[in-house]
């Protein structure tokens, strides 16, 4: 990879996402069993956990140490407002301990560990450092530390998403999906079902049984997938990476469509009507988080449509990493008017035309966009 543009940035991003996924895997089981002690509600009533803050602090520290804090601009979802409240003292302590435990093992991933444990102020500073607003010029890292937090706390699907934007364009994307089953059919089940079945009938030694990190670099025409790092192994590039490619299915009758699980920010009724009008017959695959992008990039699904309810604004950290991975795997991502998503306007996808359409190929994409125009005037949006 040496000598290639963005090679160093991609290498560091892949390593730190592997590291973050390992952190999340350790925490998810405890959160599912311990419940509310490790989960808080933000002002918009959405959940935030020890994992969200811990991943953000860890990624922020690693990027700042590697590239220099003066040179790193990070746009991320979480702030320290909730974490700094008096009634969050135990939560803050858990975050500090988790971050230090994670960073202590950074050398396993070929990354630098701090010379001594970070104190509370340093951890809060690392989280707060992710306060960039982005824009059309310069380099900006975009992080969603735990995309699909609701899925995470329910023991289901979630993702760790890290992307690099340069001059308004996404140039690197890394997507960690710790619970993504390698069998497409198991995506339809709650993840804990898969865990139970795995215990009853132990899986083979195949490392691809569960979890993956996917990544792509703009202009390469390639998207890659790696297995998780076994507990007793060190990360050695390229860590059994293999190419992924979108599905070749372009007939809507044979296509599988991904949808968000939650209805709060997505209009399922319009999506269902649109699916019917274009001839989709398969049941939609409802999955938390950017795992939907991973499913399309890997060929497990052909379509993802999201039409937000009035007043909801799409955030760039919910899409940046997934977009470049799908596109480099051969897919197409636009708004519902057929225009590329604009990542140059800051934390939000400003100017978005109605919704987002992600397809495995140009033929299917054209059919969906045509159907959107035909159906939109009769919708209740």
Active-site residues, by number, are 52, 149
* 314/286 Cα distance (integer angstroms): 18
* 85/29 Cα distance (integer angstroms): 26
* 77/142 Cα distance (integer angstroms): 9
**Secondary structure letter of residue 171 according to DSSP:** E
* 257-259: strand order across its sheet: 285-286, 257-259, 303-306, 356-359, 332-335
3-state SS class at 76? strand
For 205-233, give one letter per residue: b (16+ CB within 10 A) or e: eebbbbbbbbbbbbeeeebbbbbbbeeee
Helices 268-278 and 362-376: angle between axes, nearest 10 degrees? 120
Q: Taking Cα atoms as reference points, which of 226, 242, 243 lies closest to residue 109? A: 226
- For 199, residues 6+ apart whose C-beta sits below 8 A from its C-beta are none
* 194/366 Cα distance (integer angstroms): 36
Q: Contact, 374 vs 353, CB < 8 A?
A: no
Q: Contact, 368 vs 305, CB < 8 A?
A: yes
Q: Which residue has the tokens 């959940």?
A: 47
Token pair recorded at residue 18: 């592997």
Binding-site residue set for Mg(2+): 77, 144, 147, 318
Binding-site residue set: 77, 144, 147, 318
Q: Contact, 74 vs 143, CB < 8 A?
A: yes
How far the first Cα of the chain sits from its last, in Å, is 47
* 241/223 Cα distance (integer angstroms): 10
Q: Contact, 362 vs 251, CB < 8 A?
A: no
């Amino acid at each position: 990879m040496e000598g290639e543009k963005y090679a160093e940035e991609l290498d560091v991003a892949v390593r730190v996402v592997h590291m973050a996924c390992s952190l999340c895997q350790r925490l998810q089981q405890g959160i599912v069993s311990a419940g509310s002690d490790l989960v808080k509600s933000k002002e918009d009533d959405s959940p935030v956990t020890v994992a969200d803050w811990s991943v953000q602090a860890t990624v922020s520290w690693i990027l700042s140490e590697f590239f220099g804090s003066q040179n790193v601009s990070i746009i991320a979802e979480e702030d320290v407002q909730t974490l700094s409240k008096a009634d969050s003292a135990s939560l803050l302590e858990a975050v500090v301990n988790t971050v230090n435990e994670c960073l202590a093992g950074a050398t396993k991933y070929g990354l630098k560990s701090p010379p001594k444990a970070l104190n509370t102020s340093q951890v809060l500073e690392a989280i707060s450092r992710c306060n960039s607003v982005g824009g059309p010029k310069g380099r900006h890292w975009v992080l969603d530390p735990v995309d699909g937090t609701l899925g995470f706390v329910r023991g289901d699907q979630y993702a760790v998403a890290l992307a690099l934007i340069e001059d308004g364009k996404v140039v690197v994307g890394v997507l960690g999906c710790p619970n993504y089953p390698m069998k497409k059919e198991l995506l339809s089940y709650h993840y804990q079902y898969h865990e139970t079945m795995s215990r009853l009938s132990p899986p083979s030694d195949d490392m691809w049984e569960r979890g993956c990190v996917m990544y792509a670099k703009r202009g390469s025409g390639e998207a890659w997938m790696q297995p998780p790092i076994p507990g007793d192994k060190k990360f050695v590039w390229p860590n059994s990476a293999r190419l992924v490619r979108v599905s070749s299915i372009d007939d809507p009758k044979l296509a599988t469509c991904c949808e968000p699980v939650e209805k709060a920010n997505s209009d399922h009724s319009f999506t269902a009507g649109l699916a019917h009008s274009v001839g989709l017959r398969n049941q939609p695959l409802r999955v938390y988080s950017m795992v939907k992008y991973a499913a399309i990039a890997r060929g497990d699904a052909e379509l993802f449509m999201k039409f937000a309810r009035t007043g909801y604004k799409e955030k760039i950290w919910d899409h940046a990493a997934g977009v470049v991975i799908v596109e480099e795997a051969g897919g197409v991502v636009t708004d519902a008017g057929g225009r590329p998503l604009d990542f140059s306007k800051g934390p939000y996808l400003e100017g978005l035309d109605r919704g987002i359409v992600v397809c495995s190929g140009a033929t299917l994409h054209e059919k969906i966009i045509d159907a959107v125009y035909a159906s939109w005037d009769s919708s209740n949006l």
